[in-house]
Amino acid sequence: MREQWNSKLGFLLAAIGSAVGLGNIWRFPYIAAENGGGAFLVPYFFAIITAGIPILILEYTIGKTYRAGAPTALARINKRFEWLG
Amino acid sequence: MVAFLITVYYFAIIVWVVSYIGFSFTEAWGKDPTTFFVNYLGLTESGTQLGGIQMNLVIPFLIVWILAAIILYSGIKKGIELACKICLPILLVMVVVLVIRGVTLPGAADGLDYMFKPNWGALTDSSVWVAAYGQIFFSLSIAFAIMISYSSYLPKKTDVVNSAFITATANHGFEVFAGIGVFSILGYMAMQQGVAVEEVAGAGVGLAFMTFPTAISTLPTLNAFFGVCFFGALFTAGLTSLISIIQAVVTGIMDKFNMSHKKAVTMVMVPAFIVSILFITGAGLTILDIVDAFVNNIGVAGCGLLEVLLIGWFFSPEKLRQAANEYSNFSVGKWWTYCLKIVTVIVLGVMLVLNIKTYITEGYGGYAQLDVTLYGWGAVLIMVLGSIIFTSMKGKDGYRDLSQIAEKEVK
C-alpha cells in the first residue's frame, strides 16, 4: 500500500516548501531589477499563467493518476518515455 | 538523474548556510566578508585543484546530512509533512521580520525603487521574456521530477487544479515579498556606504555570503538577530527544497525496483553523500557554480521541453485534462492544452538553444575551459548516460500491466 499525505494541507505545505527555495530569496529580486524592474512583473505574471500553473497541473495529474515517481509514471504513459524521468 | 545532481550541490550551499547561522551570532565575517568567505571555503584557483577537504566544513556537513536522513527515513507523513509544517511557519516569521526591518530603514526606498521602477521599454526585449519564464521554471521546481513524485502520494480524489493555483500563488507571493525585504536592506546599505544600489545588487552565492553579511553588520542594532533571521530563512527554505529533491530520486528508485521506502532512501543517500564530499573541498564553489549553471540551464530546460513536447504532441493531453478536471471545482479549459503544446514548447526551445549557444561560444563565468568542459559538459554527459543506464536496468514492476491499469483509470 502506497503511503499517502495526511491531509491536503500537508501536501500543499510540502509542495510549497519544495517550490520556495533559495532562488526565491536570492535570485528573484536581482532578475526583476535587471529585466525592467516593475515592468518585469508583466511577463512574470504572464509566464505564471501560461507556463507555471499549466505545468504544475500537468505534473500533479501525472503523479496522482499514475501513482509513481517520474521515471515509472512516464513509463506508464508510454514505455518509451521512461528515460526522461 | 537531474534531481540527483542537484541534490549533491544544493546540499553544499545549505552546509554553508548552517555555518553562517553560527557566524551571525558574533558577526564572525568581520569587515571584509568576501575575503572571509573565500578563506572559509579554502577556495582554490581552479576546479581541478581540489585542495583537500576543508575541515571546518565537516561538522555542518554532517549536521545537515543527519537531519536530512532522519526526515527522509521517517517517510512521507512523519518525515516530510511534519518537517514542512515546522519549517514553513518559521520561514514566514523570519521573512516578515526582515521585511519589517527592511522597509523601516532609511534608504529602503532607493532599494525598492531599483527593484520595482518600471522600464516599460524592456517589454519589447525578448530576453526579458525568456528571463521571466526561466524564473518561473526554477522557482516552481518544475521538471525536476519533484512535483510528480510528491503528487504520487495524493489520494485519488484530490483537486489538482486548485492545488496548482495555491502552490503557485504562495510561491510567487513569497518571492515578491522576500524580494522587498532583501532590496530594502540593500538600499539601506548602499546609502550607508554612499554608493548606488546597482553597485551592491547581486544574486546567488555572492549576494548571500558576501554582500548580505556586510549589510547585516551595518544595521544599527540587533545585528546578530537579523543575521540569524536571514540565514535561518535561507536554511528553512533550502532544507524543505533539499528533501523534496532527494525524495524525487527516492520515489523514482522505489517505484522502479519495487523496493521499500527505507531501502530506496539508503540507495540514494549513500552515493549522494560520497559525491557531495567533492563540494566541501577547496574547489567546491568553482565546481558548484559550473555544475549549477549547466544542470539548470541545459538539464532542467531540456527535460522541461521534452516533457511538454512528448506529452503535448505524442500523448493525448486531452486525456490528462479530463483526469485533472475529474475532481476539480474549477475546470481547466482548452487553453491549458494550447499553453503546454505551443507556448511552453516555444519558450523552452528558445531558452535551451540560446543557453547552449552561449556556453559553446563563450564558455561560462570566466572559468578555465578545462573546468567548464570537465564539470559543465561532464554533468550534462552524466545526466544523459545516467538516464540511459537507469532505463536499461530491468525494474521489478511490469510496466505493461500497470500502464493498462493506468489507462483504464484515465478513461
ipTM: 0.85
Contact B343 A51 (CB under 8 A): yes
The CA angle B186-B365-B140, to the nearest 5 degrees, is 60
Query: What is residue A77's predicted lDDT score, i.e. its pLDDT?
Result: 64
Contact A66 B161 (CB under 8 A): no
Contact A70 B149 (CB under 8 A): yes
Q: Where are the domains of chain B?
A: 2-410
Contact A17 B241 (CB under 8 A): yes
Cβ of residue A1 closer than 8 Å to a chain B Cβ: no
Query: What is residue B1's predicted lDDT score, i.e. its pLDDT?
Result: 64
Contact A52 B136 (CB under 8 A): yes
pLDDT tens sequence across B43-99: 766 666 666 666 677 888 888 888 888 888 888 878 888 888 888 889 899 989 888
Fold of B2-410: Amino acid/polyamine transporter I (1.20.1740)
Given a cut of 70, is residue A72 above it in pLDDT?
yes
Cα distance between the two ends of chain B: 31
Cβ of residue B310 closer than 8 Å to a chain A Cβ: yes
Query: What is residue A81's predicted lDDT score, i.e. its pLDDT?
Result: 59
Which among B199, B61, B312, B131 is positioned nearest to A62, based on CA atoms? B312
Contact B80 A14 (CB under 8 A): yes
Which of B64, B78, B140, B209 would best serve as a mutation to test chain A binding (most A beta carbons within 10 A)? Answer: B140
Query: What is residue B217's predicted lDDT score, i.e. its pLDDT?
Result: 80
Query: What is residue B400's predicted lDDT score, i.e. its pLDDT?
Result: 41
Cβ of residue B96 closer than 8 Å to a chain A Cβ: no
Query: What is residue B409's predicted lDDT score, i.e. its pLDDT?
Result: 41
Selecting from A23, A34, A64 the residue whose C-beta is nearest the C-beta of B152 gives A64
Chain B environment of A19 (Cβ under 8 Å)? 139-141, 167, 170-171, 241
**Which stretches in chain B have pLDDT values below 70?**
1-2, 44-55, 143-144, 282-284, 316-317, 329, 331, 362-370, 374, 376, 378, 386-411
Query: What is residue A55's predicted lDDT score, i.e. its pLDDT?
Result: 84
Contact B147 A16 (CB under 8 A): no
Query: What is residue B397's predicted lDDT score, i.e. its pLDDT?
Result: 47
pLDDT tens sequence across A10-53: 888 888 888 888 878 888 888 888 888 888 888 888 888 888 88
- Tell me how many residue pairs between chain A and chain B have CB atoms under 8 A apart: 384
Shortest distance, CA B187 to any CA of chain A (angstroms): 12
3-class secondary structure, A4: coil
